[in-house]
A and B are shown apart, each in its own frame.
Chain A
Amino acid sequence: MAYTECVSELANAHRSFASAAEEHLDDVYRYLLYVTANPATAEDLTSETFERALSRWSRFDPRRGSAQTWLCQLARSTALDHFRAEDRRRRREQRVAEPDRGADLELPDEYGPVLRQALRTLTGAEREVIALRVVLELDTEHAARVLGISPSACTTRLNRALAKLEKKVRPRLVA
């Protein structure tokens, strides 16, 4: 390990939680926005993610990964908890009918109409991998770590998601 890398690791280790939160707030929000496809939910989950991060900041080990990866893992866990709670709530309400998946998807207007419509057709898992690999520009290894899958599975999932997205976007862009 190079001397500069050691110094960098030590510097990362001493980075304060506030600066890490400030630096990666947009990353966490964008990731959650892709996963939930709902700005309000993404905001709530982002806030909850940083609350969790605050209480668990002492467990963060910069040698095992960057703060961005760690925060994305926490965000994913928070989102999954949210989805589980929603799932339970829906089952309690005995919604036997297949829920309208598009009903809760309220992507913000910043997305163009074409991209927004195309993203609505993707599943949360597909949007998630696009968010990590394309939007946040995490490398395959770190994205796979956030997703809890192998790097090859991550690459496969990304290729499928992008192919699906391009299939929806390209005809409209051409038109």
Chain B
Amino acid sequence: MSPDLAIALREQTPAAPSELRERVAHITAAAPSPRRTPPPRRMLLWAGPVALATSCLAALAVGLSSALDSNPSSTRDAGAAAPLRRLEQQTDMSLGAPTLAPMRASRAGVPAPSTQRAQEVQANVRVLVDDPDELSTATQRALRTTRRLGGYLVAVDYGMPEATEGSATMRVRVPVSRVQAAVVSFSNLGRILAQQTQISDLQQRLDELTRQIRRTKGDKARIAALRRERTQINRRAAYATVDLALTTHEPEKKVVPPSRLDRAVDDATGVLTAELAIGAYILIVASPFLVLLAAALAASRAYRRYADQRLLERA
């Protein structure tokens, strides 16, 4: 381009007439309108992070709410566990009673009952054996052991629901002085899964009954009743009850309930995973349409540009 032409074009192009200046000045006298809504591009830029934050918040809310909702169930669990705790407390109390004789620890960890005081002893032993043949042998050995120790069988339940699995439960009573030997012998039948021994002191009640009988004079019926009770207590104190369970399969491991935080995290993760799955599903389903939409938009834009160009060509 020649410089002369450029200069001519610039110099000969007129400036805006004064009338137009006044019109524009009148327009600009008004204050520019404030922005009411953000531009669409900025809204689109924010849409992604906002959607992500919303998803996370929703997941967090669901996780927290489910964790809070789980409180009653944990209370129920606590309620269900209460008798067990009471039982343990009872056991502990009976074991730790000041009137109780000092315990002697045995090889199997079974406390030995006192020989000086009347006590009610109850033991539970759960033993794992290898197979049904071993189960049968162990059951017979347990019965023989009971008889050898001077005890007797109260009840037995032997069953094999499957060829490879079986179980036997029996309740035996053995003299209190030999309960330790019985428990040790039963424990040797296989692998010990659980063992529990409860000892309750009966001596206090016996002493009290003896004092009442001495004090009660003339009332034969009353004396007879007190003596009957004392006899029953002596019987209870003479023999210990042992519950033996033999099984060929290990019990299912106790599922430890997750903590509140774990539940919240699990639920939140689950919600996020579900959201991601839904998002991926929508994306997969919608992707062809999105591609078509993008192509249509691009084509529309190109056509608009072409139409504008044609319009200016004709102008």
Contact = CB atoms under 8 A, between A and B. Distances in A.
Given A25-B24, A43-B17, A47-B23, A134 B313 contact: no
Interface in A36-91: 36-37, 39, 43, 46-47, 50-51, 54-55, 57-59, 80, 83-84, 87
A162 B33 contact: no
Interface in B282-315: 305, 308-309, 311-315
A35 interface: yes
Contact residues of B: prevailing secondary structure: helix
B155 interface: no
B32 A51 contact: no
Contacts of B10: 134-135, 137
Contacts of B33: 54-55, 57-58
A59 B40 CA distance: 11
Nearest to A57: B32
Residue of A35, A54, A87 with highest tally of chain B CB at under 10 A: A54
Contact of B312 (A22, A35, A51, A110): A35
B34 interface: yes
B20 A29 contact: yes
B304 to A, nearest CB: 9
A112 interface: yes
Interface stretch (B1-9, B185-193, B228-236, B258-266): B1-9
Contact residues of A: prevailing secondary structure: helix
Interface residues of A, number: 53
Interface of A: 17-18, 21-22, 25-26, 28-30, 33-37, 39, 43, 46-47, 50-51, 54-55, 57-59, 80, 83-84, 87, 99, 101, 108, 110-112, 115, 123-125, 128, 130-131, 134-135, 137, 148-149, 162, 165-166, 169-170, 173
Given A55-B33, A124-B314, A130-B9, 15 more contacts: A39-B14, A43-B19, A43-B20, A47-B20, A54-B30, A54-B32, A57-B32, A101-B315, A108-B14, A115-B9, A123-B313, A123-B315, A128-B312, A135-B13, A173-B4
| Leading 10 A-B pairs by shortest Cβ distance | A124-B315, A58-B35, A57-B32, A125-B312, A29-B16, A124-B312, A110-B14, A18-B28, A83-B311, A21-B28
